[in-house]
Amino acid sequence: MRKSQHSPAGGMGAFARAPLATAWAALALAGCSLMPVYERPAAPVAPQWPAASDAAADSADRPRQALPWQDFVQDDRLRALIAHALEGNRDLRMAALAIEQARAQYQIRGADRTPTLNLAATGNRQPASGGGISSTYTAGLAMASWEIDFFGRIASLQEAALAQYLATEEARRAVQTSLIASVASAWLSLQANDELLALTQRTLATREDSLRLIRLRFDQGVASALDLRQAESLVAAARVALAQQQRLRAMDVNALTLLAGQPLPAGMLDTQAASGPLFAEVPAGLPSDLLVRRADVRQAEQQLRAANASIGAARAAFFPRIALTASAGTASNALSGLFKDGSWGWTLAPQALLPIFDGGRNQAGLDSALAGRDMAVAQYEKAIQTAFREVSDALAGRATLGDQWQAQQAQAEAEADRFRLADLRYRNGVASFLEVLDAQRALFASQQALAQTRLALRQNQVLLYKALGGGWELPPGQTGRAGG
């Protein structure tokens, strides 16, 4: 360590003036960035939704307010189940931990821009040239090699780390939106299977009554063996359907338990139809540029920003890298001489490295960064296109599933009346049992189809909620129409 010829106070003052002046001068010159100016790519989708022209009628810049999932889900039981899943779901927990990891990486990059100070103490004893042993002891502050970011390499890396951190935030929101939609969809499936299970049980009871009547008529010689076998076949088919519905219901419960990440109370699995609506209706007049607010699209854009920042770091690798090492403290040949007058001093060691030949490493790094940015652009555009397709599919479902459900309901009512008349004709000896058999089968099939169509209609509401990014924007003072 170079010793100062001044007093202790003077030595420390010299250290404070010389390195700090150099550092401030370096910081004044720093700040040059080689990172490309970020520009958001144009959305590669149409400005209007297909098959739903009213969804693009509203102005994109009209003041709006977000509708959270608690307002979208209007059934108290389902709302409690979703809140239960948000607390225990493991995918959501991992997404939250990924945020903490990305935040730590960003803090590491931020620390690279500031000097690192260490308290250093050394002792060295070795044979002297004239005999005996020479000793050297030092103690003081040491600043490790600090890179002065003239060309923005560290700033670009920090910008990339910040974008990755923000991307993990958006990823967590996307996981939460997907979780809410998955829980709602699975609960609706459980509700439909509960309804179908009750329908199958009623159908089985009706067919068993018919079988008893046919067997009685057969014993009396009124009905044929063919009628008896057909009645037995209908009962067996209903039992098959009953076993299938019981299995499907158990699978729905297992799916909900996995989504919740913990066992579910029996009350949360009660899916009996409530008097009120299940969901709020998505209003008309949503612009297609609403897609850029989806969490997965915002995540893709943050990843694009990170790739764009990486280009700046790759470009800076072609320019000189300037580092500064400094220390200040006291040195003596004996431990008792430390901290005495005349033992204080400081060192300052700047270093500049200019790449001359690296075998094409820096150029390859820049090419890789440019290709990564182009890949991120393609991923961002694909995210928007995928979102546009999902919203378009959901809007197409909303436009047609309501009419399908009404037509299916009319068919089920007609089939119920047909079965009543066929059974009445058979009991009066006007029609054969084959007519009753056909009416029973058609009625059961139409009732099953009605329940499935109702399920598709409600799940489409959830699909539209998810496709719009976990909510939509409503004009102030407007509320969604109740549906479901």
pLDDT tens by residue, the chain, 484 residues: 443 333 333 333 433 344 444 444 444 444 577 888 888 888 888 777 775 444 444 444 443 456 788 888 988 889 999 999 999 999 999 999 999 999 999 898 888 888 888 888 888 878 877 777 877 878 888 888 888 888 888 889 999 999 999 999 999 999 999 999 999 999 999 999 999 999 999 999 989 998 998 899 899 888 888 889 989 999 999 999 999 999 999 999 999 999 999 888 888 888 886 667 888 887 656 667 778 888 999 999 999 999 999 999 999 889 888 888 888 888 877 777 777 777 787 888 888 888 888 899 989 999 999 999 999 999 999 999 999 999 889 888 988 998 999 999 999 999 999 999 998 998 888 888 888 889 999 999 999 999 999 999 999 999 988 888 876 554 444 444 334 4
Could you tell me the two tokens for 401?
Answer: 């599933």
Average pLDDT, the chain: 82
Could you tell me the two tokens for 450?
Answer: 């009605």
Instruction: Identify the pLDDT of residue 199.
Output: 94
In whole angstroms, what is the distance from residue 253 CA to residue 5 CA? 82
pTM score, whole prediction: 0.80
Q: Quick one: 68 exposed, middle or buried, by C-beta within 10 A (0-12, 13-18, 19+)? A: exposed
What is the number of other CB atoms lying within 10 angstroms of the CB of residue 447? 21
In whole angstroms, what is the distance from residue 313 CA to residue 319 CA? 10
Could you tell me the two tokens for 319?
Answer: 């320019």
* Residues comprising the chain, all counted: 484
Could you tell me the two tokens for 268?
Answer: 């949360």
In whole angstroms, what is the distance from residue 63 CA to residue 292 CA? 16
Query: Do residues 329 and 141 make contact, with C-beta atoms less than 8 angstroms apart?
Result: yes
- Range list of β-strands (E), 305-407: 321-332, 344-353
Could you tell me the two tokens for 367?
Answer: 């090419």
Question: DSSP state, 6?
Answer: S
- The domains of the chain are located at 1-30+116-148+320-353, 33-113+149-319+367-483
Closest CA to 277 of 456, 478, 447, 461: 461
In whole angstroms, what is the distance from residue 410 CA to residue 417 CA? 11
In whole angstroms, what is the distance from residue 240 CA to residue 234 CA? 10
CATH of region 33-113+149-319+367-483: 1.20.1600.10
When the candidates are 2.40.50.320, 3.20.20.70, 2.20.200.10, 1.10.540.10, the CATH number that belongs to 1-30+116-148+320-353 is 2.20.200.10
In whole angstroms, what is the distance from residue 307 CA to residue 378 CA? 12
Query: Do residues 330 and 139 make contact, with C-beta atoms less than 8 angstroms apart?
Result: yes
